Chains A and B, each alone.
Chain A
Amino acid sequence: MFKKFIPKEMVTNINNAKSSVQKGIRHQVLDQMPFAEDYIDQILPKKEALKIVKCQDHIEILAAQNGELLFFRHRDGDLYPTLKLLHKYPFILPHMQVDKGAIGFVLSGANIMCPGLTSPGARMTRVDKDTVVAIMAEGKDTAIAIGLTKLSTDDIISKNKGVGVENIHFLNDGLWQMKAVK
């Protein structure tokens, strides 16, 4: 989603969220990422208005008052944490670990193919299709990307070919490079 994302050109406007919108977002985060509960006030302080950064292609980025980029979504779809937020709270998403051989591909923005998730160096959490997941890598502690499963874990295993997880946001893509918003 952010492979060719150039913040300067893509951002159309930045507004503070209305409190009703902010409440909705808080709800959505907890709904989608139940493990975030203990830290939700740290992540989305109640007293601080969220900034909504509207971008082209129906992308919306949610930022803290200090400009730190927290979540993003496409149209009214699922919320994704940014990698920087995920690095702070790695447990908010289920992890899918690719094998070492896939790391270079993921970093160039490629989707994650099933064999990269089923080989001996890989490990998966059991999830359904269309789940937002953290892409981890064999031998590494930090997330390399954030993805959306195209198949359930069971189907990834049984089919073992084609795209298993869509690469939505990865280290060094346009969103990663994007600075805190003013």
Chain B
Amino acid sequence: MATADGGAERAFLVNEGPKKGVSYPIKLAYCGECTMPIEYCEYYVNYEKCKEWLQKNLPREFEKLSVTKEGEGDVEKKDDGGSGEEKKKRQTRGGKGLMKAKKKVEPQGIRMWTASRGKKKKVTIVVGLASYEIDLKDASKFFASKFSCGSSVSGDDEIVIQGDVKDDLFDYLPEKWSQIEEDDIEDMGEKK
């Protein structure tokens, strides 16, 4: 639909007042580093500092930020993996997309934690291997054979291993992949 001046038909915004279903005042999360709404952190000269702050103080927002960065709703594509709660946790896990976008090659550290599956079962979730240029499928196979258990790639930089194997990973990861130092690995305990 072209107008006389050759431009496309323009869709204007219309102010319709308060939105239904939204409760006002809206409480925005502001960044403790740059003080702006966190979606603008990326424009701050010291964005790295913002990310540190977010990760520490608003991990949920930090994760959201990275999911947004990943874009293209890859959230839905992640594997089935159990209850809705677990799914939610996983889809937002990470900081990976953001990190990847900003620093493609620099290793970002490896984080791992356990989570419950059912009443007694535990799984270990490992995030960050991809930033060490490790093929996740290979890694997952390696874990499966090493621990004689199930292991699967569950996100674009996330592996889930059956059982609590965190202690072993501190030994196995640097042993198997020389680019990983034991200090790169962070044990984040148990998450619900």
Contact = CB atoms under 8 A, between A and B. Distances in A.
A95 interface: yes
B32 interface: no
B40 A107 contact: yes
Interface string A92-123: 01111100000110010000000000000001
B18 A91 contact: yes
B13 A94 contact: yes
Given A123-B11, A157-B10, A89 B26 contact: yes
Nearest to B13: A125
Given A87-B28, A157-B10, A39 B39 contact: no
Contacts, number: 72
Interface residues of A, number: 32
Contacts of A153: 12
A91 B15 contact: yes
B40 A171 contact: yes
B25 A88 contact: yes
A140 B13 contact: no
A120 B54 CA distance: 32
B40 A125 contact: no
Contact of B35 (A96, A103, A140, A177): A177
B35 A172 contact: yes
Contacts of A88: 24-28
Nearest to A39: B24
A57 interface: no
Contacts of B16: 91
Interface string A69-96: 0000000000000000001111101111
B26 A95 contact: no
A141 interface: yes
Contacts of B37: 87, 140, 142, 171
Contacts of A172: 34-36
A126 B12 contact: yes
Report the 9 A-B pairs with minimum CB-CB distance, sorted nearest first. Answer: A88-B25, A35-B17, A142-B37, A125-B13, A171-B36, A94-B15, A87-B28, A91-B17, A123-B13
12 contacts: A35-B18, A88-B27, A91-B15, A91-B17, A93-B15, A107-B40, A123-B11, A123-B12, A124-B12, A140-B39, A142-B40, A153-B12
Given A91-B16, A124-B10, A125-B13, 16 more contacts: A35-B17, A35-B18, A38-B18, A87-B28, A87-B37, A90-B26, A91-B17, A97-B13, A103-B43, A140-B40, A142-B40, A153-B12, A171-B37, A171-B40, A172-B36, A176-B35
